[in-house]
Structure 1
């Protein structure tokens, strides 16, 4: 057997293992889909967005990404398509977005959630027309936001068919990752910020060329030790996001790094398919934890991220070389793949 054959077999084995994580995670999501449903408090003035719209938007974005990464005949494609339809029905097929805008005209989260649906082809022309009016105001352009959030809003505008109110390169330069910081300054908040910068630049893993060459080189060098640190700390949610970043770069990480990381994530995954945000997995020798070993809020996001990262990892041919990448970040060049 040639070296090339050995490497090809290793890739097949890895994909089979990662595919198992993805299938189990989506099984858990499907079984708990009602927990993502919008309640009566979704439009309440004192409603908690992080417990209503945020989980639904995250479900939608992950399912949209998995749908793009799997062929129509794949059972997982059917599963996420059904979940997307479920999520869209929760918004009354988009009718809730104009209502949200009327209640909070300058809140950006409705557009960010809507953009996830729009990326899956689920659109509401009336909302897009009204959002375009608000987006032309000075009040919208001058809303104070963290740099990573600003980048996300620009991408949400683009994906929703609105003219972005700023330029991606300038927004990128103000983020933690965009400044190519000292690697030892990496910590939890910086980790989540950098993963979302890459997600926004690549349209959630769809366009690896959206990552400028200097950032790609920086991440290829420092992502392995950061990932190892998070895995050692049993920060499964952030580890899965970093694995999604790895699968979104123009060039892959070393196979040994990926194999080790996915083995550890698979070991942390519960038999139900749930992946805890952090900490030790349930002790199999202990008392029976029942069908739900973790509270929904303690595992739904990490389980979604496991499915997202696994889908990107299995979909991308690791032995395909990409052409030349952009040398830098020329002014005015966005992240559209």
Structure 2
């Protein structure tokens, strides 16, 4: 199956399970679990926003991604819930991070942006202790939400694991997820490869292939998808043969429903009689979304390369 086919199948699963991303009655409850309410919806929004921005309207992924964005926006009562969330947790950053994904795709709530800007000017907001990778995300969210970033993205980047150009053998699961999000933040989720600083632009094409191979070999499909998205976000991508092999291996993990498990064996873990949903939603929704994201970015880079090749082939009139 082609990269586009893998992505379309994965988004088909997401579309069929969109109600599982819906916010429940506990979305604003003090005892509510953010990881089960807002997190899935926020990740759906982030991926669909990126897909809609990197795909032409004629590409099948585009229209479905826009429809899912509309669905997700309705879940927030067209942005009204963000203001309520802020009143309940004034210094929580996740509402702004989720809202910023909507804003990047043109869904905006001026009232929420105004109130968030007030909080962002406080010392409490600026001094909140965060991992450097998370701070990069907050700075990006502020920018997309029309708020002046409260710090330097370059300084935050320098404090991350990836920003320090670590010894490649120190790569492990936590470092892997951290590095992928560093790249996502500095490239505006794959839309601006030139955002990768020169040092990282030289470092990553060299070490990303063995890291990706390690994750694929370990059947860590979720992290593998994120690394494939990173590969498509770099100014200079790894060799095509490396990526072709990785996509073929990922395709073998994809269920006929379009779902991709986070890790482990694919079909044999589900069992022969698992039915149309071989995995629990929580065990595959993120990896399936990341499959969509990586496929859309990979296809976009290929379209750009084909377009550049066509122009180069035309030559200069004599």
TM-score tier, shorter chain, comes to: over 0.9
Task: Select which of 164, 167, 172 maps to 1:182.
Answer: 167
Cα RMSD between the aligned structures? 1.3
Question: Quick one: which of 91, 108, 113 aligns to 1:128?
Answer: 113
Choose the corresponding residue for 1:78, options 35, 40, 63.
Answer: 63
Counterpart Cα distance in 2 of 1:151 and 1:253? 25
Structure 2: gaps of 5 or more residues: 310-318
Asked if structure 2 preserves the Cα contact closer than 8 Å seen for 1:252 and 1:318, the reply is: no
Q: Which has the higher helix share?
A: 2
Q: Please, which of 16, 20, 32 is the counterpart of residue 31 of structure 1? A: 16
The reply on whether 1:233 has 2:253 as its aligned counterpart is no
Cα deviation code 1:276-301 (max 9, x no counterpart):
00000013995311111000000000
Report Cα offsets for 1:275-328 as digits up to 9, x if no partner. Answer: 00000001399531111100000000000000000000011134649xxxxxxx
- Give, in whole Å, the separation in 2 of the partners of 1:57 and 1:285: 27
Conservation of the 8 A alpha-carbon contact between 2:8 and 2:60:
no
Aligned-residue offset at 1:267? 0.5
Q: Which runs of 4+ in 1 moved over 3 A?
A: 318-321
| DSSP 3-state at the match of 1:121 | coil
Residues paired across the two proteins, number? 306
Q: Provide closer, same or farther for how the CA distance between residues 186 and 129 of structure 1 changes in structure 2, counting only shifts above 3 A.
A: same
The structure 1 residue matched to 2:276, chosen from 291, 300, 312, is: 291
For structure 1, which runs of at least 5 residues remain unmatched after alignment? 1-15, 322-337
Q: Is the 8 A contact 1:108 1:153 kept in 2?
A: yes
Q: Which of 31, 40, 45 is matched with 1:60 structurally?
A: 45
Question: Which segment is superposed worse, 219-228 or 75-84?
Answer: 75-84
C-alpha distance in 1 between matches for 2:166 and 2:128: 26
Structure 1 Cα separation of the partners of residues 56 and 224 of structure 2: 26
Determine the C-alpha separation between the residues in 2 that align with 1:156 and 1:57. Answer: 13
8 Å CA contact 1:275, 1:302 repeated in 2: yes
Pairwise CA distance, 1:69: 1.6
Secondary structure of the 1:299 match is: helix
Structure 1 distance, partners of 2:151, 2:223, is: 29
